[in-house]
Structure 1
Amino acid sequence: MSEKQRPPENGFDIAVVGAGIVGLAVAGEILRRRPGARIVLLEREPEVAAHQTGHNSGVIHSGIYYTPGSLKARLCVEGAALMYEYCEQRGIPHERAGKLIVARTKREVEGLRVLHERGIANGVPGLRWLESHEIPEVEPMCVGLAALHSPNTGIVDYAEVCRRLERELRESGATVLLGTRVERIDRSGDRSIVRTDRGEVNAGWVVTCAGLWSDELSRRSGAEDNPRIVPFRGAYLHLAPSDAEPVVRGMVYPVPDPDLPFLGVHITRHIGGEISIGPTAFVAGAKDAYRITRISARDLWSLASWPGTWRVARKFWRTAFTEIRFLLSRRAMRSAAAEFVPEIRRRALAAHGAAGVRAQAVDRDGTLVDDFVISEVPGATHVRNAPSPAATSAFALARELVDRFERNLGAAGRP
């Protein structure tokens, strides 16, 4: 570590691992509650938002999909309100663009009714059922038997939010150590020793928000080996720039498969005006497989040695064939989106798309974990599963995490 970045001799009060949006929000929440606390934020990459946060669709979700009473349901609705408030106060570009979830068959209409009930139970604001003839009032080029309109669903550049959070942390006196990979966390007395590739950092408590590497870090730091992260690569197509009317005003989604935590191929207008189609969802050859050819022997071994991986494969092999078709054919992927926005068939695709990798926790028994998972060991709180809508929920999830570790500090008799 450079002289400017050398930690104080007696260490830090709290260390946060991971400078995606959740880690940044946690560090900010700690300083909001404890002004003057000695905080260090450690990130393996040379910049913030380098992985899931910087490679997602930029959607501020409203909370429709999630099981009532789950952490996702509660924290998404609360988090969306906090995200809008944060962006409005700081002038970060964002928009309540609205979203339609469209049913194309009678069976999907029944699934849509379930989502409608969930959205109401979760307190999603402004949710409205649309019959077929009402759909063009919201999205003129969209067709379907019925739809749910969520006017509170929005768009934002989460990487821009993260850059603002990083700047505020530094201005508030936090130490931000980029390019510092955390290898494990040990406990010594009442201190946690964070062992990194650049030396040791000690802190009274550690909160880890390590995303794609959350299972490895928590396991090496004394937590149980279940669940494990299985990386799913999501590829997006983009429509070529055009002077024609945009195919969507906001977002158009299909009714998702209730057995999967993915939302299907959808159409999104982003904050910069570009329009994407996707994502796919296929097991990746590496946790940072932003290029399809990227393979990691270590990550492949983790996948192959985990019983849950094979159980998921056996259960969802039909879905895998669909994803392979999307992987091999841009036309097939565009056709899936054109089922509810036919105009897409007449629009040109950009030469290059984009891709992200989703950290999906999978239990040993093959269950795809469909809620945020937080585990605790002496001296550390670990976020074990935080896929979508983690970015939307970031500020609310940060409050939840800080509440938990403060209860632990109180139980240990410390202020």
Structure 2
Amino acid sequence: MRKIAYDCDVLVIGGGIVGLSTAYAITRAAPGTRVTVLEKERGPARHQTGRNSGVIHSGIYYRPGSLKARYAVRGAAEMVKFCAEYGIAHAVTGKLIVATQRAELPRLHALVQRGRENGIPVRELVAAQIEEYEPEVRGLAAIHVGTTGVCDFAAVARQLAEASGADIRYGAQVLRVDRRAGLGVAVRTADGAVVRGRVLVNCAGLYCDEIARMTGDDPGMRIIPFRGEYYELGRPELVRGLVYPVPDPAFPFLGVHLTRGIDGGVHVGPNAVPALAREGYGWGVIRPREVGLALSWPGAWRMARRHWRYGGGEVRRSVSKGAFTEAVRRLLPAVTEGDLVPAASGVRAQAVLRDGTLVDDFLIREGERAVHVLNAPSPAATASLPIGRAVARRVLSVLGAVS
């Protein structure tokens, strides 16, 4: 039988923070393993990793025992250590979660209990104590979470790429995946190159479902992109740190919040509106094929029927700056429309099941010679180091079985 000449042992598709963390974890756990990362952009972290609030999440929101909870709590501590080790800008700031309506108080108390179950230090505050942390913020009650922080996740991704020792190929858009029994996986990129590996790892984020189907595996979900729109606060002195509303547990979104970043500026947002392209960073970006893929998925219609009222409110805040300002004023009454300066948007790769369920936890599935990361929502950047190790363990197990 003809011997196959493999270019690498592990072929990772996607140069965001999860793909690069996976490459880093593989080379740490199994030195000598040849890893190649294919990224279609000209550099790392150009999409979800580099277009978010930069928050190191504590893990307080997530169901105890879930992958999100376990990885976020562990990942927050590891991310702070990683940033300190490599001199990456970061700060442990703590944050407030503020109830502004009486109906939110039971949910706020539930977060206190959840935080304690997850091993997170939480301080409960009455209305008068909120000013100790945020003089301009108003609410009926709040909790302070001391382990939350901020960092430069794009810089983290660049450092992971360098420290992994992997062969990182930028500008390598995947057009075709050919997987044959006993012959490994061959990937053709837009420049005509063919890269052969023993095992494929799909960390393609916004396109992870398409890569899974190219590989020949049924992902059982579809990515429905949601755009998160941000403003910059023109008067950053109004906010000292991080201020969040009480989230609605029915949705995997945290609501419009205020985040003082490592550069001293204050981000306001995001909302969550359906995007008309997987990289649809504005209403004017429309890709008919991608819109068609979303509309042809039964889960998209079931999700819309179930959550139309919530979605309508998000769209209203997208098209009306006044409505967006109104949402911010619930937390920060001093803010005006003129204080909000448009900033770059992000797009979230939300996995939706056929029945319309918004997948709320990390979703990792295996196929023949393949491991697919099919849902890596917030707090994926925070939890990227433990996620990378978890994916790496699966990959090395598959690699051992086929070698």
Give the structure-2-normalised TM-score.
0.95
Match of 2:214 among 198, 215, 220: 220
1:129 corresponding residue in structure 2: 124
Structure 2: distance between partners of 1:94 and 1:113? 29
- The answer as to 2:230 corresponding to 1:236 is yes
Provide the residue aligned with 2:205 in structure 1.
Answer: 211
Q: Give 2:149's aligned residue.
A: 154
- Distance in 1 (CA, whole Å) between partners of 2:79 and 2:267 is 22
Pick one of 23, 48, 56 that aligns with 1:27.
23
Q: Which moved more, 1:44-53 or 1:196-205?
A: 196-205
Q: What count of residue pairs does the alignment treat as equivalent?
A: 398
- Native 8 Å contact 2:26 2:396 kept in 1: no
Check if 1:254 corresponds to 2:245: yes
SS in 1 for 2:98: strand
Tell me the CA shift for residue 291 of structure 1: 2.5
Flag the 1:55–1:346 CA change in 2: closer, same or farther, 3 A.
closer
Q: How far apart are the structure 2 equivalents of 1:211 and 1:413?
A: 26
More displaced 10-residue stretch of structure 1: 84-93 or 326-335: 326-335
**Secondary structure of the residue that 1:246 maps to in structure 2?**
helix
Aligned to 1:177: 169
What's the CA shift for 1:49?
Answer: 0.5
Q: Distance in 2 between matches of 1:345 and 1:286?
A: 31
Work out which of the residue numbers 304, 314, 319 in structure 1 matches 2:310.
319
2:400 matched to 1:377? no
Whether the 8 Å CA contact 1:234–1:281 is kept in 2: the answer is yes
Q: Secondary structure at the match of 1:155?
A: strand
Instruction: Name the SS for the 2:310 alignment partner.
Output: helix
Match of 2:229, SS? strand
Distance 1:10 1:349, change over 3 A: closer
Q: How far 1:36 sits from its partner (Å)?
A: 2.4
Could you say what secondary structure the match of 1:354 adopts?
coil
Matched with 1:4 is: none
* SS in structure 2 at match of 1:67: coil
Amino acid of the structure 1 residue aligned with 2:366: E
1:183–1:217 Cα contact (<8 Å) kept: no
- Kindly provide the CA deviation profile for residues 147-177 of structure 1, in whole angstroms up to 9, marking residues without a partner as x: 11111111111111112222333xx3x2111
Query: Which amino acid is 2:225 matched to?
Result: P
* Residue 345 (structure 2) aligned to one of 346, 355, 363: 355
Dislocated runs of 4+, deviation >6 Å: none
Unaligned runs of 5+ in 2: none
Shift of 1:111: 0.5
Deviation (angstroms), 1:9: 4.7
User: Which whole-Å CA distance do the structure 1 matches of 2:337 and 2:144 have between them?
Assistant: 25
Identity of aligned pairs, percent? 47
Long gaps (5+) in structure 1: 1-7
Aligned partner of residue 383 in structure 2, secondary structure: helix
- Of the three residues 279, 282, 297, the one matched with 1:291 is 282
CA separation of 1:377/1:346 partners in 2, compared to 1, >3 Å: closer, same or farther? Answer: closer
**Greater shift in the superposed pair: 367-376 or 186-195:** 186-195
Quick one: structure 1 residues 289 and 346, their matched pair in 2 at CA, closer, same or farther if it must change by over 3 Å? closer
One-letter amino acid of the counterpart of residue 229, structure 1? I
Given that residues 369 and 399 in structure 2 are in contact (C-alpha distance below 8 angstroms), is that contact kept between their aligned partners in structure 1?
Answer: no
Q: Return the offset for 1:346.
A: 8.1
Q: Give the counterpart of 2:389 among 391, 399, 403.
A: 399
Tell me the amino acid that sits aligned with residue 12 of structure 2: V
**Aligned-pair CA distance for 1:384:** 0.4
Report the CA distance shift for 1:260/1:361 in structure 2 as closer, same or farther (over 3 A).
Answer: same
> Offset at 1:183?
2.9
Q: Distance in 1 between matches of 2:82 and 2:33?
A: 22
190 and 69 in structure 1: CA distance in 2 versus 1, 3 angstrom threshold? farther
Query: Does the CA-based 8 Å contact 1:79-1:395 persist in structure 2?
Result: yes
> Does residue 145 in structure 1 map to residue 140 in structure 2?
yes
Secondary structure in 1 matching 2:334: helix
CA 347–128 in structure 1, closer or farther in 2 if over 3 Å, else same: farther
